[in-house]
Amino acid sequence: MKRSLAGRIWPNATAVVLALGFVFPVYWMFNTAFKPTQDIVTEDPVWFPLHGTFEHFATAVNAPNFWILAGNSVLVTVLAVGLSLVIALCGAFALTRMRFKGRKGILLTFMVAQMAPWEVMVISIYLIVRDADLLNSLLPLTFFYMLMVLPFTLLTLRGYVAAVPKELEESAMVDGCSRRQAFLKVVFPLLAPGLMATSLFGFITAWNEFPLVLVLNKEPAMGTLPLWLSQFQSQFGDDWGATMAAASIFAVPILVLFLFLQRKAVGGLTSGAVKG
Amino acid sequence: MAVQLDDAVDKTAPRTGKGGAPPGRRSPRSPGRRTPPARRTPHPPTRRAPYLLLLPALLATAVLLGWPMVRNILLSFQNLNMKELIQHLTDWRGTGNYQEILGSEQFWRVTLRTIVFTAVNVALIMVLGVLIGLLLARLGKKMRLTLSLALVLAWAMPVIAATTVFQWLFDSRYGVVNWLLDRLGRHAMAHYDWVGTQLSTFFVITVLIVWQSLPFVALNLYAATTTIPKELYEAARMDGAGTWKVFTCVTFPFLKPFFLATTFLEIIWVFKAFPQIFAINEGGPDRLTETLPIYAFTEGVGNLHFGMGAAISLLTIVVLLAMTAYYLRLTIKQEQQEENEL
């Protein structure tokens, strides 16, 4: 099929404009973070950080509690995702490989749980955590984040478990493995990519969570990075350089993780959406 | 993302079945499946095994989701303000909270605002997302990779980080947007305060949400179009169909489940959007950009009217269920079909 010159140019031109539009906010965050303040506070924007500086990163990192909050965020996220992977894998295995009464009901429970409107449930969660005397603690955060990602993890892992041929498992059992051994030695290694892909979205959810920590952990040293970042700008006046440095520090782990796992995760889940 | 995540969770959900199924979910069942496993395996699994394996997941769901839900319902019938909270009083109020809310003009205004806000955002996301997805399908290999990478970058950007960046982009004095508008001849916009009025605040929030959501729709739509047999397109072209005709007669009917799932997931996601609206201006100016989740939050946690807040949050869930009932019914039906195939 032949296309006219204009017909060949406009898709590419549109694509370039769109790509710039999608990249620009991310670029502008890094650009601002690396520019000296006089290049930020100008009537005409400075498009490239020609006089690059790390002073804004120093400001952000030296802000009170930064390292404690970063530690909190990492701890809560890793624990929540790790726990949910273990729990979900057990459940997913049962739901895909075994027949039992109530299977349908349990499946539906998780599908409904996946749509749970956590944002509007903060009130009752606040009161429950308060009654348990656990406000300003990382424990409730870890557990609730674990449950926020659990239904999705379980339902997605179901697909990956189903993709491992049952024959592999059976032949291992014929060779004398117990069902548990067959699972650990044969099925589990084959599930590794699936586990990585699924955990990526768990990481993003837990790392980003905002409403719950906003309500539960008011004590400055017990928060997480999203809370810190959302309050950073008001705390530091209009220091946009430091604010953008803080945003960069917060965004980089997820951006890196996403770009690393993107082929496996997005590729695996959407069958080649981003493979050029 | 979860909403983000949570948005991420919600946003990624259709991949478990619609846009592109995870490998093998619908893979042909092996013939060995029909014989009960107990007869073939040397170690017959105990009858309790599946329940034991599912126990942690079910227990966690019951305690961490079920109990807050029940508590929320109980709360909505109580009069629970600062005084009751401190003295640990339980003051049942019957349907008083609901009567008060349903009788207040504020609630209906916020509900209407939320519905309009959701509709506008979802419409923009779906139309633009589909256009970008179709564009991706038309591009050459290199260009497609470039645009895909840009989309992935925007998609991966954490919600709160993106919100902060958009505040900076739309900053009244040194923001790039105002500079650009000034340059383009709209000099009145040189120091425009974007979070000063209701409409302009919503504009910023909408741009932010659409920017964040488009990559998901576009990339998934592109992935889905690759599953359409080429012959269908050729046949349509042969019959003299134009671009629009090809879309309405081939692409759309073929990808109907995808469109349905994505639209409803975006509805859920936009409807629940919390960090974006809250972090941009905390529902301001004058509480004019509060949507239902923010409204429940401000009434409950902000103004310490926990009973009222709980009642609003339950009504919010009812509105959300009403908006997505059709999709939920379809999903359950589909799941039951799969169940029967097992």
Closest approach of B279 to chain A, Cα-based (Å): 6
Integer CA distances (angstroms), B254 to A233, B22, B260, in order: 47, 19, 12
Burial class (CB in 10 A: 0-12, 13-18, 19+), B96: middle
Residue A179 in contact with partner chain B when CB distance is under 8 A: yes
Chain B neighbors of A165, CB-CB under 8 A? 30
**Which residue type occupies A27?**
Y
Residue B340 has what pLDDT?
67
Residues B40 and A129: beta-carbon distance below 8 Å: no
Long-range Cβ contact pairs of B168-172 (< 8 A, separation 24 or more): B168/A28, B168/A29, B168/A32, B168/A240, B168/A243, B168/A244, B169/A25, B169/A28, B170/B194, B170/B195, B170/B204, B171/A238, B171/A240
**With an 8 Å Cβ cutoff, are B50 and A229 in contact?**
no
Closest approach of A245 to chain B, Cα-based (Å): 10
Mean pLDDT over residues B116-129, rounded?
96
Residue B8 has what pLDDT?
35
B315 has a pLDDT exceeding 90:
yes
**With an 8 Å Cβ cutoff, are A120 and B296 in contact?**
yes
Closest approach of B194 to chain A, Cα-based (Å): 16
Report the chain B residue with the minimal C-alpha distance to residue A33.
B165
Residues A152 and A202: beta-carbon distance below 8 Å: yes
B342 has a pLDDT exceeding 60:
no
**With an 8 Å Cβ cutoff, are B150 and A20 in contact?**
yes
**With an 8 Å Cβ cutoff, are A19 and B147 in contact?**
yes
Closest approach of B186 to chain A, Cα-based (Å): 15
Secondary structure of A176-214 as H, E, C letters? CCCHHHHHHHHHHHHHHHHHHHHHHHHHHHHHHCCHHHH
**With an 8 Å Cβ cutoff, are A26 and B142 in contact?**
no
Mention every residue, 6+ apart, whose C-beta is less than 8 A from residue A261: A196, A197, A200
> Mind giving me the DSSP string for B191-218?
T--TTSSHHHHHHHHHHHHHHHHHHHHH
Question: Can you tell me whether residue B92 is helix, strand or coil?
Answer: strand
B17 has a pLDDT exceeding 80:
no
Residue A126 in contact with partner chain B when CB distance is under 8 A: yes
> Mind giving me the DSSP string for B22-86?
PTTTTPPPPGGGGS-HHHH-SSPPPTTHHHHHHHHHHHHHIIIIIHHHHHHHHHTTB---HHHHH
pLDDT band of B11, cuts 50, 70, 90: very low
Which member of B162, B174, B215 has the closest CB to residue A40? B174
Report the chain A residue with the minimal C-alpha distance to residue B154.
A22
B218 has a pLDDT exceeding 90:
yes
Q: B95: which 2 tokens?
A: 């349907």
Mention every residue, 6+ apart, whose C-beta is less than 8 A from residue A46: A35, A39, A40
Residue B161 has what pLDDT?
93
- Range with lowest mean pLDDT among A119-128, B30-39, B205-214: B30-39
Q: A205: which 2 tokens?
A: 């959810």
Domains, chain A, with CATH or none: 64-235 (1.10.3720.10)
Residue A275 has what pLDDT?
26
Q: What is the pLDDT along chain A (276 residues), one digit of tens a residue?
A: 456 777 778 889 999 999 999 999 999 999 999 988 888 887 778 888 888 889 899 988 888 889 999 999 999 999 999 999 999 999 998 988 888 888 888 888 888 888 888 888 999 999 999 989 999 999 999 999 999 999 989 988 888 888 888 888 888 888 888 888 888 888 888 888 888 888 888 898 899 999 999 999 988 889 999 999 988 877 777 788 999 999 999 999 998 888 777 665 544 443 332 222
Chain B neighbors of A210, CB-CB under 8 A? 159-160, 274-275, 278-279
Q: B188: which 2 tokens?
A: 């009145």
Residue B5 has what pLDDT?
31
Chain A interface test: which of B3, B7, B12 (most A C-beta within 10 Å): B12
Closest approach of B245 to chain A, Cα-based (Å): 17
Sign of CA dihedral A88, A91, A177, B23: negative
B76-341 belongs to which CATH class? mainly alpha
Residue A264 has what pLDDT?
59
Chain B interface test: which of A40, A97, A115, A160 (most B C-beta within 10 Å): A115
Question: What span, in angstroms and rounded, lies between the C-alpha atoms of B266 and B167?
Answer: 23
Q: For the beta carbon of residue A120, count every other beta carbon within 10 angstroms.
A: 28
| Chain segment A104-132, per-residue pLDDT in tens | 888 888 888 888 888 889 999 999 999 89
CA–centroid distance for B281 within its chain: 21
Radius of gyration of chain B (CA): 25
The secondary structure of residue B21, as a DSSP letter, is: P
Question: What span, in angstroms and rounded, lies between the C-alpha atoms of B236 and A1?
Answer: 13
Q: What are the sequence ranges of the domains in chain B? A: 76-341
Which member of B21, B226, B268 has the closest CB to residue A159? B21
More confident residue, B204 or A170: B204
Tell me the β-bridge partners of B2.
Answer: B6, B7
Chain A interface test: which of B26, B52, B53 (most A C-beta within 10 Å): B53
Go through A8-46 and write b for each residue having 16 or more CB atoms within 10 A of its CB, e for each that does not: eeebbebbeebbeebbbbbebbbbbbbbbeebbeeeebe
B41 has a pLDDT exceeding 60:
no
Torsion angle in degrees (nearest 10) through CA of B59, B63, B66, B67: 150
Tell me the β-bridge partners of B6.
Answer: B2
Go through A168-181 and write b for each residue having 16 or more CB atoms within 10 A of its CB, e for each that does not: ebbebbeeebebee
Report the chain B residue with the minimal C-alpha distance to residue A93.
B53
| Chain segment B219-253, per-residue pLDDT in tens | 989 988 888 888 888 888 888 888 888 888 888 88
Residue A267 has what pLDDT?
45
Closest approach of A32 to chain B, Cα-based (Å): 10
